[in-house]
Every structure is written in C-alpha cells, then in structure tokens.
C-alpha cells in the first residue's frame, strides 16, 4: 500500500500512468493502492496535497487523461500519451479539421499567449460558466493539448498551505520547452499506443480490453 509521497512517485514511474480514482483497469488507481492514512492525515497534508510534488518528482504530468478523470503520467509515458491523443495534429490542424469545440479554442488561444494560467483567471478571461469551462478543459486534456502544471494554495500567516489548491493549466510546450513537439513527433500514434499498452499489459495481463479503453479516448 502507498503510505508516502515517495511510494506514490515510485508507483507512477512503475506503471507509467496512474488514475487518481478507480479506473476501468481494476487495481490501477491511487484510490485502490493508497493506505487510508494518507487521505486525511492529522497534519492536513496527504494524497490530495501531493499532486504538485509528484509532478515535480516524476518529471511527468497530471491531468484529466483517463476517461476524463484525473491522474498522473510518468515522464517516460507522457510523450507517447500526447502523441497518441493528438493523432498527428497540432492544435491548429485539430481545430481546422473541425475537431476542436468553440470553447476549447477560446481556452487554447489564451494559453497560447500566456503558456500557463490559474484556472480562476483563465475561466474569467474566457467568460465561461463553470460547466462550460470544465468541459472545455476535459476535452483539451483528453486530446493532449493541455496539462495541469501545478496548484496555488492559500497560506496561513506562518506560511503553511491550507484549503483546496486552485489548478494551474498549461500547454505541454510551455512546461517542457522547445523540444516538446519533436519529442511528440518521434512517435507515430500507432507506436505510441503499442508502447503504452505493452507496458501496462506486463502488470495487468488479463485486462487488455480495459487497458485499451484507458489509454484511448481521443476525439479523432
């Protein structure tokens, strides 16, 4: 069972992908693997608060990647995931071929200018309702164009974090730099899918169909 941030980091790196909540692949989620003690510990800092630390420790990413549900992706599996989900498109091509929804285009245009935005400010700039903004963000993450780069917390007078973190969204290119596009393009969608599937099949050999559903989910 996962009881520490370090053990969670090891699990993300081992499996390559780790949904936060129960997934279609039985046994592959933090919810199933975590000890009860890390959800709401006495000091107030547990699994909910480790997300940004895990992003940093693994060098990977967090986002709504798995059937629109959130989870972690290791550095090793991130670029194959983005390559498969984008299916050979940059966002301009994705949009020009009619795959991007209007609210997704609004969000992406702002992030293209700023690289990263706190969700509160991003939603206000887009002038979207909570539900419309949420749907746009899920679509952009599922199709590999946006990731969660971190979380902003309120601080007590002595500098301790408290409350729920406010999500920061970013383009992968803004987080991982100029080589991002070439790293994604180094995989064909087919090879990327095979890499991820074969990796997970080594841990869940009897769950091929559910693994395909988990790493699928793109719009094109």
User: Which residue is listed with tokens 């949009």?
Assistant: 95
Output the average pLDDT for the chain.
93
Confidence band, pLDDT 50/70/90 cuts, at residue 159:
low
Which residue did the predictor score with more confidence, 163 or 48?
Answer: 48
Locate 69 and state its tokens: 């549900």
* High-pLDDT (> 90) share of the chain, %: 85
Confidence band, pLDDT 50/70/90 cuts, at residue 44:
low
DSSP β-bridge partners for residue 205: none
The model's pLDDT over 1-15, given as tens digits with 9 standing for 90+, comes to 999 999 999 999 999
**Cα dihedral sign for 119, 183, 189, 208?**
negative
| pLDDT at residue 220, as a whole number | 83
């Amino acid at each position: 069972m996962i009881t520490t941030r370090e053990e969670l980091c090891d699990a993300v790196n081992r499996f390559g992908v780790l949904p936060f909540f129960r997934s279609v692949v039985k046994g592959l989620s933090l919810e199933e693997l975590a000890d009860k003690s890390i959800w709401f510990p006495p000091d107030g800092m547990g699994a909910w608060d480790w997300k940004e630390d895990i992003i940093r420790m693994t060098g990977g990413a967090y986002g709504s990647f798995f059937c629109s549900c959130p989870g972690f992706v290791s550095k090793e599996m991130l670029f194959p995931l983005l390559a498969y989900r984008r299916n050979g498109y940059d966002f301009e091509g994705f949009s020009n071929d009619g795959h991007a929804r209007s609210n997704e285009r609004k969000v992406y245009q702002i992030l293209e200018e700023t690289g990263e935005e706190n969700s509160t400010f991003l939603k206000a700039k887009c002038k979207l309702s909570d539900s419309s903004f949420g749907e746009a963000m899920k679509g952009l993450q599922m199709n590999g164009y946006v990731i969660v780069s971190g979380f902003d917390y309120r601080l007590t007078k002595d500098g301790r974090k408290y409350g729920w973190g406010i999500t920061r969204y970013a383009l992968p290119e803004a987080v991982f730099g100029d080589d991002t596009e070439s790293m994604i393009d180094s995989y064909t969608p087919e090879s990327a899918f095979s890499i991820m599937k074969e990796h997970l099949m080594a841990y869940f050999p009897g769950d091929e169909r559910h693994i395909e559903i988990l790493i699928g989910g793109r719009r094109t």
